[in-house]
Amino acid sequence: MKLDSKIPAGPVADKWSNHKAKMRLVNPANRRKYHVIVVGSGLAGSAAAASFAEMGYEVSCFCYQDSPRRAHSIAAQGGINAAKNYQNDGDSVRRLFLDTIKGGDYRAREANVYRLAQVSTSIIDQCVAQGVPFAREYGGLLANRSFGGAQVSRTFYARGQTGQQLLLGAYSALSRQIGAGTVKMYTRHEMLDLVLVGGQAKGIVTRDLVTGEIKAWASDVVVLCTGGYGNVFYLSTNAQGCNVTATYRAHRRGAGFANPCYTQIHPTCIPVHGEDQSKLTLMSESLRNDGRVWVPKDKADCTKPASEIPEERRDYFLERKYPSYGNLAPRDIASRAAKEVCDEGRGVGQMVDGKRLGVYLDFSAAIKRLGEPAIRERYGNLFDMYENITGENAYRQPMRIFPAVHYTMGGLWVDYNLQSNIPGLFVGGEANFSDHGANRLGASALMQGLADGYFVLPYTVTDYLAGVGLTGRPSVDAPEFKAVVKEVQDRTQWFLNNKGNRSARSYHKALGKIVWEKCGMARDKAGLEGAIRDLQALRADFWKNILVVGSGDQLAPELERAGRVADFLDFGIMMCLDALHRDESCGGHFRTEYQDAGEAQRNDDKYAHVAVWAWQGDGQLPVRHTEPLVYEDVQFTTRSYK
Partner 1 sequence: MVKEHDNLDSHGEQTLSLRLRVWRQSRGTTGHFEDHALAAVPTSASFLEMMDMLNEQLIKEGKDTFAFDHDCREGICGMCSMTINGMPHGPLPGVTTCQLHMRNFRDGEMITVEPWRAKAFPVIKDLAVNRSAFDKVIQAGGFITVRTGSATEANNTLIPKPVADEAMDAAECIGCGACVASCKNGSAMLFVGAKINHLNILPQGQPERERRTLAMVKTMDDAGFGNCTNYGECQAHCPKSITLDVIAKLNRDYLRARVKEFFSSTGKPRKGGD
- The CA distances from residue 427 to 272, 395, 416, in Å, are 33, 43, 11
Give SS3 for 558.
Answer: helix
Strand locations in 350-473 (E): 351-352, 355-356, 359-362, 399-408, 411-412, 425-427
Contact call for residue 237 and ligand FAD (CB under 6 A): yes
Look up 154 and say whether it is catalytic. no
Q: How many CB atoms lie within 10 A of CB 596?
A: 9
- Cβ-based neighbours of 353, under 8 Å, separated by 6 or more: none
Note whether 177 and 49 are within 8 A (CB). Answer: yes
Looking at residues 505 to 524 of the shown chain, list those that interact with ligand FAD (rule: CB under 6 A). none
Find the catalytic residue in 154, 331, 400, 539.
331
Contact call for residue 128 and partner 1 (CB under 8 A): yes
Positive or negative, the CA dihedral 550, 555, 558, 559 is positive
Looking at residues 189 to 218 of the shown chain, list those that interact with partner 1 (rule: CB under 8 A). 210
| Binds partner 1 (CB under 8 A): choice among 15, 19, 35, 72 | 72
Q: Is 221 exposed, middle or buried (0-12, 13-18, 19+ CB in 10 A)?
A: buried
Nearest residue to ligand FAD, using CB?
Answer: 42
Query: What residue type is 166 in one-letter code?
Result: L
Looking at residues 416 to 455 of the shown chain, list those that interact with partner 1 (rule: CB under 8 A). 454-455
Which partner in partner 1, ligand FAD, none is near 50 (CB below 5 to 8 A by kind)?
A: partner 1
What DSSP letter does each residue of 375-409 carry, written as one string?
HHHHHHHHHHHHHHHHS--TTTS-EEEEEEEEEE-
Contact call for residue 389 and partner 1 (CB under 8 A): yes
Closer CB to ligand FAD, 413 or 607, in the complex: 413
Contact call for residue 65 and ligand FAD (CB under 6 A): yes
| Binds ligand FAD (CB under 6 A): choice among 3, 41, 455, 573 | 41
Which segment (75-83, 386-394, 582-590, 619-627) binds ligand FAD by CB under 6 A?
75-83
Contact call for residue 78 and partner 1 (CB under 8 A): no
Which partner in partner 1, ligand FAD, none is near 262 (CB below 5 to 8 A by kind)?
A: none
Query: What residue type is 529 in one-letter code?
Result: E
Contact call for residue 23 and partner 1 (CB under 8 A): no
Which partner in ligand FAD, partner 1, none is near 512 (CB below 5 to 8 A by kind)?
A: none
Looking at residues 460 to 499 of the shown chain, list those that interact with partner 1 (rule: CB under 8 A). none
Looking at residues 233 to 272 of the shown chain, list those that interact with partner 1 (rule: CB under 8 A). 239-241
What backbone phi and psi angles, to 5 degrees, belong to 82?
Answer: -160, 140
Closer CB to partner 1, 110 or 560, in the complex: 560
- The CA distances from residue 507 to 253, 490, 501, in Å, are 25, 21, 11
| Binds partner 1 (CB under 8 A): choice among 483, 555, 623, 630 | 555
Which segment (9-17, 61-69, 521-529, 627-635) binds partner 1 by CB under 8 A?
61-69
- The CA distances from residue 441 to 64, 78, 97, 112, 116, in Å, are 28, 12, 11, 15, 13
| Binds ligand FAD (CB under 6 A): choice among 245, 439, 462, 503 | 245
Measure the CA–CA gap between 523 and 515, rounded to whole angstroms.
Answer: 10
Closer CB to partner 1, 366 or 556, in the complex: 556
Closer CB to partner 1, 17 or 638, in the complex: 17
Positive or negative, the CA dihedral 121, 123, 125, 128 is negative
Residues forming contacts to ligand FAD in the complex (CB under 6 A) are: 39-45, 62-65, 71-73, 75-80, 162-163, 190-191, 225-228, 237-238, 243, 245-246, 282, 406-407, 429-431, 443-446, 449
Enzyme catalytic residues:
331
